[in-house]
Amino acid sequence: MFTKPKNGWTEIHLEEFEGLGSYIQDVPAEAAEGCIRALREQTPLVLQFDEEGSEFTLTAEDTVHIVAQGYYGPEEYDIPMTKEALAREICADLEEYFPDWVEFSEEYAYFEEEEATEKQAFYAKRERMLQSLLKELRETLQQMA
């Protein structure tokens, strides 16, 4: 679903749907938290993405439904994938590009050279937070198996 984050963006691909996630949102944390909550509470997974000029909402239960609101009006996509399968894919994508997701923060990108110590502290704190979320997501997915 997520490509490797680069220059403050990640591409989001699900079958024929293509969208973007910007670092103005905390995409990895919001996606992991949303998956955990939806799986534990047995509610639909709902993720919203701001593409800086357009947006889309992804809802997953027995299938994935995406409503994109862009320059040409709303577009809808239905993808045959359960929320559990989507959560597993999200978890794998977050793990695969983990160091890049740690840096995927508007705040991290704007540290100045003379703020190296603060930048390292921010990175370490963010790394621990994302590791904790991924661990929780993995554990939640294991309970589903």
Q: pLDDT digits over 62-77, tens only?
A: 999 999 987 778 999 9
Mean residue pLDDT across the chain: 94
pLDDT category at 111 given cuts 50, 70, 90 is confident
pLDDT on residue 40: 97
Name the residue type at position 139.
Answer: E
pLDDT on residue 100: 96
78 to each of 1, 11, 54, 140, 143, how far by Cα in Å?
15, 18, 19, 25, 27
Give helix 83-96 / helix 116-144 axis angle, nearest 10°: 150
pTM of the model: 0.93
pLDDT on residue 69: 87
Nearest Cα residue to 76 out of 67, 89, 84: 67
Name the residue type at position 58.
Answer: L
